[in-house]
Structure 1
Amino acid sequence: MDLVTRAEWRARSPRGHLSPLPSARGTKLHYVGSFVSPDLAKSCSRCLDTVQGIQAYHQGTNRWTDIAYNLLVCPHGRVFEGRGARILSAANGPGLNQGHYAICALLGDRGLIQPTAAMLRGIHDAFAYLRERGAGREVRGHRDGYSTTCPGPVLYRWLQAGMPLADDTTPIPRTPSPPRWPGRYLQYRHGQPMQRGQDVTAWQRRLAQLRYTIAADGIYGATSAATTRVLQRAKGLSVDGVVGPKTWAAAW
């Protein structure tokens, strides 16, 4: 694991006493949740600045003792020491910090929203690091037990899928031009029959090639629509979860 200690990222001292937590049932995954610049993936020096900014916000605006998370993971797969192991976090919500430690992925709900393969491996490393130091085997998202969208749809689906890893050296498959739009709008409407077919399968496979966490089952349901909205947001399209000609072309 590529651990960046508090001294290495020049963390401020805690504003007071940090409560110990020798063991917990498991660990919950978070994301930053606001805008994160895509430039973060270009240089890890930007990651250091981002972690410093999170600590300054938590200690300043929130008036917390220290940065809320035990560990943070950047797009380059480096694991930043927050409060560290065996310390009570301040991230999971009132009354929930005793049960789980907290890991934050440096992803936002806008800008940088898609985890890299290196980040996913870093998250695996962070979970393992805390398990070796008192965390149980439970793996949860912040939204489990607390009213929030954190850690976002992409990371949460990845957790639900069992945290699969991809080879960082495998390029994202691309074609010089998109295949022809199949001619029908793919959309999900609650309470109505779900669309099925080869066009749905083709769309899901393309999303999977782009490293979105989705199964190519040929059924356009709630997960397909949510994943489509993530892609639309990333591409600057109207975010409605409907695959029309513009959204179809944008995936290629």
Structure 2
Amino acid sequence: MDIISRAEWGARPPESRSTVPWSKRTVFMGHYSAASATQTPRQIQDYHMRVRGWSDIGYNFLINSITGDLFEGRGWNVLGAHCEGHNTESIGVCIIGKDQAGKQDVSDAARRAFKWLYDEANDRKGKRLTLLGHRDRGNTTCPGNEIYAWLKAGLPLVGSTPAPQPKPPAAGRPAPGTPIAFPLPAGWYFGPASGPDYSVSGLHERYFQGRTDRAWLREWATQLSRRGWSIGKGQRWLGGAGNDGIYGSEYRALAEAFQRDQHLDVDGLIGKHTWDAAYRNPVR
């Protein structure tokens, strides 16, 4: 798919720019302009620079909600200004348009362009980016209810077949114990302290659902021990520091091994799918 370059849509030169390596990109974030689909990227850029005082247009890319035209904003590796506090990790994509009461605002062409851009971002990153709407990280209604629901549904396209799901584990003994719901907010995970705010390491002992993050991480590892995994000091997994509830290389290795065992995406991060598999999937 062609991306209309800055030169083609008549962009003003940026007043300054900072680059972001792909190693820092973890999120693909959807926005909308909350205005008419007749807006041009240049009009949005002028507003951002002249009224808001930003160095350039805030988004990394923009898509016209009617035509599906895809425009280069700041581009792949430039720090955006679309979500305060989350611009380093996230690539911001604005759909130019707004919710229309009782009427679809986002055309099939725009949806295809957005999904193509998301797939391209994943290819460049080398792994799947977390798909979020602006409201997931900011006090806002952006990107509108229609777009947000579509994001949360996984970007289904009209006439497309559902994406293949990971094969379920082979039949075996039911998972032991009582299932416990994933304790973190949607889109969050247990991961390294060097990650974004929604990467919960246990280092700072934040509270979720009445318990500390360390207690929850220990709970997940304990559930694996109930499933027959050798876990604890001197054991096969978490053998050094033990099940201390502070995410590090040992928890990452354990999570990756469990994800491989359960045919999940192997990233070493303990999100909802990896958490739920420990409590719901049969023991192989």
| Cα drift, residue 130 of structure 1 | 2.5
Aligned pair in 2 of structure 1 residues 136, 161: CA closer, same or farther (>3 Å)? closer
Aligned pair in 2 of structure 1 residues 62, 136: CA closer, same or farther (>3 Å)? farther
Correspondences of 1:1-252 after superposition (within 5 Å): 1-16=1-16, 18-23=17-22, 24-33=25-34, 35-37=35-37, 40=38, 50-74=40-64, 75-93=66-84, 95-109=85-99, 114-134=105-125, 136-167=128-159
| Cα drift, residue 117 of structure 1 | 0.3
Count of equivalent residues: 155
Which secondary structure state, in structure 2, belongs to the residue aligned with residue 102 of structure 1?
Answer: strand
Q: Please tell me the residue identity of whatever aligns with 1:20.
A: T
| Cα drift, residue 113 of structure 1 | 6.0
Superposed CA deviations along residues 212-248 of structure 1, whole A, max 9, x for unmatched, are xxxxxxxxxxxxxxxxxxxxxxxxxxxxxxxxxxxxx
| Cα drift, residue 109 of structure 1 | 4.1
Superposed CA deviations along residues 51-86 of structure 1, whole A, max 9, x for unmatched, are 110000001001100000000011222210000011
Rg larger for: 2
Superposed CA deviations along residues 193-226 of structure 1, whole A, max 9, x for unmatched, are xxxxxxxxxxxxxxxxxxxxxxxxxxxxxxxxxx
CA RMSD of aligned residues (A): 2.1
Which secondary structure state, in structure 1, belongs to the residue aligned with residue 8 of structure 2?
Answer: coil
Answer whether contact 2:99 2:146 (CA < 8 A) is retained: no
Answer whether contact 1:141 1:151 (CA < 8 A) is retained: yes
Answer whether contact 1:19 1:87 (CA < 8 A) is retained: yes
What CA distance in whole angstroms lies between the structure 2 residues aligned with 1:71 and 1:118? 16
Answer whether contact 1:85 1:133 (CA < 8 A) is retained: no
| Cα drift, residue 154 of structure 1 | 0.1
Superposed CA deviations along residues 98-135 of structure 1, whole A, max 9, x for unmatched, are 22110000112459861000000010122123333348
Superposed CA deviations along residues 38-63 of structure 1, whole A, max 9, x for unmatched, are xx4xxxxxxxx611100000010011
Superposed CA deviations along residues 143-184 of structure 1, whole A, max 9, x for unmatched, are 11211100000000011111110159xxxxxxxxxxxxxxxx
Structure 1 residue ranges without an equivalent (≥5): 41-48, 169-252
What CA distance in whole angstroms lies between the structure 2 residues aligned with 1:138 and 1:7? 30
Q: Please tell me the residue identity of whatever aligns with 1:105.
A: I
What CA distance in whole angstroms lies between the structure 1 residues aligned with 2:50 and 2:117? 26
Answer whether contact 1:86 1:133 (CA < 8 A) is retained: no
Which range moved further: 97-106 or 126-135? 126-135
What CA distance in whole angstroms lies between the structure 1 residues aligned with 2:10 and 2:61? 15
What CA distance in whole angstroms lies between the structure 2 residues aligned with 1:100 and 1:148? 17
Which range moved further: 101-110 or 77-86? 101-110
Which secondary structure state, in structure 2, belongs to the residue aligned with residue 132 of structure 1?
Answer: helix
Structure 2 residue ranges without an equivalent (≥5): 161-284
What CA distance in whole angstroms lies between the structure 1 residues aligned with 2:100 and 2:56? 25
Answer whether contact 2:62 2:95 (CA < 8 A) is retained: yes
